[in-house]
Amino acid sequence: MDTLSEMLALGDIMARVKALRVPADALTWHRFSGSLLLVLLVLLFLSGAFMAFYYSPAPGAAYDSVDYALYSVPFGDVIKGVHHYGWNIFLIVLGLHLVRAFIVAAYKSPRQLIWVSGVLTLLLIPALIITGDLLPWDQNGFWTTQVRISIIASVPLVGDFMVRLIQGGPLTGIVALTRFYVLHILFLPALLIILIVIHFHFLKTRGLSEPLFKKGSQSKTISFFPQLINRWLLLFLAVTLVLGVLSWYWPAPLGDPADPTDSTFVPRPEWWVLSLNQLVTIFKGSLTVIGSVIIPGGLVVLLLALPFLDTSPDRHPARRKKVVLTAIVVAIILLGLSVMGYNEHFNGNVS
Amino acid sequence: MRARTVISAIGGATIIISAWILMLLQPAGAHTLLVTARYVKMAPQGLDDPVWETAQAAQLLVEGREPVVGQNGTVISRALYTDDQLFFLFKWKDPTKSITKQSWMFDGQKWVHLQGNEDRIALLFEITRINKFGTRGCAITCHSPADVPRKGWKFATKTNDEKGDLWHWKAARSAPYDYADDAWLTVAGNPTGSYRTTGRRKDAGAGGDVKNETPDGTRPLFMQNPAIKPSVPGFLLLEETVKITNYSMFKTGDTIPYRLPLKPSGSRFDVKAISRYEDGGWMVMLYRKLDTGHEDDVIFNPKKRYSFAVAVFDDSGSEHSKATEPMTMLFSR
């Protein structure tokens, strides 16, 4: 290693990496969500890069190229499955990561921007999902995109402009598919990496939040390399194995090829968007903007502003009753909307 | 430490439960009928094998097209698969058992064709993707091309890249040899030997039937070879016939089949069949290798889903059928 690092003139960097110390609980069996997110992100990038080798972003060829990658390339279905389950679990873990940060008040000074960069990352994921869903050019992806486009179009003043910007015209065709593809594999991942780098920058400079239940644990440290890296690699292997097995036995779905003339197809919303979808269902007609913009936008603003609204030094949830109670009420409402959405779209319909 | 343990356990459980819920919440098409083929280790032994009861029964609505509009029915379908074969069992009501096809009858002076045709069931899969077949089913291949009048419609695909796999069980012409005629579908044309312009093409190999008539078409050409015991009672197989040399031996009312099944072979004989008519309906079991190795057949990969459609024909010699909407077949373990 030393010889190689000397050859590559990396001696200084290696020395700095080896000297780097991190808190002992940066990655433990009870504190792993951040590292798990990084594992999932690497898997998403790798599996996405594999699929990009076979993908053709044109309506007449996209479906067949995905079909080929899935069923004709060895282990193609497993890799697609890793990508499919990867982003689903990424969203869950990211949500849990934020919930944990909220419970232990990790957003409080001096870590406000760690929280803000985390929330911005959370907001970026739906954009990646939305652009990714259209790519296979199957019925569900196509018609789900139509629903989403119609919701975006309902935004006052800028709705039509945004739709034209996103899909390059009034219809979802080859230009839209190309734009979604470029956004999905280039711009959005680049933005995601920038946000994560910012997140890590603030993590390094402001430090991990202190545990609520035990003080002084951060005085213990481990080496970044090799101790932390080895733990992370172990987690990487375990997650890869689990996702691989999951994808092998329950392959990622690929529906019928998209038929833009088949308006009878009723797309079902994905789990993460059930509550928002239900808001749009409740607020109809001239009130659509309440469900599509005002309420979701208000929640986003509230999340981003949280560190600047809750400035008390108290971190224990029992001493932050107002904030915790508000969060519980919002969570119950979102859960209730999701249950309503589930009943509407998944109970009693033809499968 | 105890609180941490509880929080970690809750976090881990949430991830696992959420992942499981995700699998249950896979968004799927909301209007496509699913037929699920269940995996079995041993192939079903005929129509009455109890293993069929383990396969999910799908009720397929078949709707009559012109001129049989309104004559709807139901085909009950079950599907099983093993490591190398796919099996279908179809049951449908048909009050008239039709297994002859315009047989000859001697009326004392001349030979005439009797009324009556045959019952059939046909399945269409995609060998390569047929545009919109997954959402429109047979309509996209039967009502083709859509921009010409109805009488100009041909059973065909629109481009050379689109190919269908047609399994055609015929009560009079393929059932005697226990198979469904295996054909494929491409753009409309008029290849050598065909009498009409459609996209139907025979798979490689032998099969089908020949018309039992003299060159002038006035009387039958073949009869049962008296030296051979009929292998399928009630049917006249070409390989068991001899040319009629003395027509004076026939008396008034004697009948002779008009369509003589040919011994099938090759890719055309890929889809095997077992059938029985009872209680006013047909039971037909069709089975085939998942991968026949022939270019004119769809390859079934149990990890994929397949669009397909079914049509049944009641005492019909034409394309008048009752057909399903597009359906999707899945494989499940």
pLDDT score at A351 = 35
Question: Which listed CATH number (3.40.630.30, 3.40.1410.10, 1.20.810.10, 3.40.50.2300) goes with A23-268?
Answer: 1.20.810.10
pLDDT score at B20 = 62
Peptide bond into A156 cis (omega under 30): no
pLDDT at residue A174 above 90? Answer: yes
Q: B58 with B35: CB under 8 angstroms?
A: yes
pLDDT score at A216 = 52
User: Among A35, A29, A25, which residue's Cα sits nearest to residue A216?
Assistant: A25
Shortest CB distance from A30 goes to which of B4, B129, B305? B4
B19 and A89 in contact by Cβ < 8 A? yes
Distance from CA of B100 to the nearest CA of A (A): 39
CATH of the domain at B76: 2.60.40.1190
Distance from CA of B5 to the nearest CA of A (A): 7
- Determine, yes or no, domain membership for B95: yes
Q: Where are the domains of chain A?
A: 23-268, 274-345
- pLDDT one-digit tens code per residue, B229-280: 999 998 999 999 999 999 999 999 999 999 999 999 999 999 999 999 999 9
**In terms of residue numbers, what domain contains B62?**
31-99+117-199+267-332
- pLDDT one-digit tens code per residue, A87-110: 999 999 999 999 989 999 999 989
pLDDT at residue B25 above 90? Answer: no
A265 and B15 in contact by Cβ < 8 A? no
pTM exceeds 0.90 for this model:
no
Angle (CA) B243 B246 B247, round 5°: 95
- pLDDT one-digit tens code per residue, A287-310: 888 998 899 999 999 999 999 999
User: Among B181, B185, B188, which residue's Cα sits nearest to residue B201?
Assistant: B185
Give the separation between CA A149 and CA A171, rounded to whole angstroms.
10
Q: A172 with A145: CB under 8 angstroms?
A: yes
Burial zone of A345 (CB within 10 Å; 0-12 exposed, 13-18 middle, 19+ buried): buried
Structure tokens at B189: 């044309």
- Determine, yes or no, domain membership for B19: no
Give the separation between CA A26 and CA A224, rounded to whole angstroms.
10
* Backbone angles phi and psi of A57, in degrees to 5: -85, 60
- Overall number of domains in chain B: 1
A351 and B5 in contact by Cβ < 8 A? no
- Determine, yes or no, domain membership for B271: yes
- Residues in chain B within 8 Å Cβ distance of A88: 19, 22
- pLDDT one-digit tens code per residue, A49-86: 999 999 999 998 999 999 999 999 999 999 999 999 99
- Determine, yes or no, domain membership for B322: yes
Shortest CB distance from B22 goes to which of A63, A100, A271? A271
8-state DSSP, B264 = P
Burial zone of A162 (CB within 10 Å; 0-12 exposed, 13-18 middle, 19+ buried): middle
Give the separation between CA A182 and CA A162, rounded to whole angstroms.
16
The chain-wide mean pLDDT, for chain B, equals: 88
- Determine, yes or no, domain membership for B245: no
Burial zone of B210 (CB within 10 Å; 0-12 exposed, 13-18 middle, 19+ buried): middle
- pLDDT one-digit tens code per residue, B192-239: 666 667 888 999 999 999 999 999 999 999 999 999 999 999 899 999
Distance from CA of A248 to the nearest CA of B (A): 9
- Determine, yes or no, domain membership for B254: no
- Determine, yes or no, domain membership for B274: yes
Tokens 């055309």 locate to B268
User: pLDDT-derived band of residue A350, with 50, 70 and 90 as boundaries?
Assistant: very low
Non-local CB neighbours of B37 within 8 Å, separated by 6+ positions: B55, B79, B80, B81, B86, B87, B302, B329, B330, B331, B332
Q: A119 with A98: CB under 8 angstroms?
A: yes
Give the separation between CA A72 and CA B206, rounded to whole angstroms.
31
In DSSP notation, A118-130 reads HHHHHHHHHHHHH
- Determine, yes or no, domain membership for B63: yes
Give the separation between CA A47 and CA B131, rounded to whole angstroms.
29
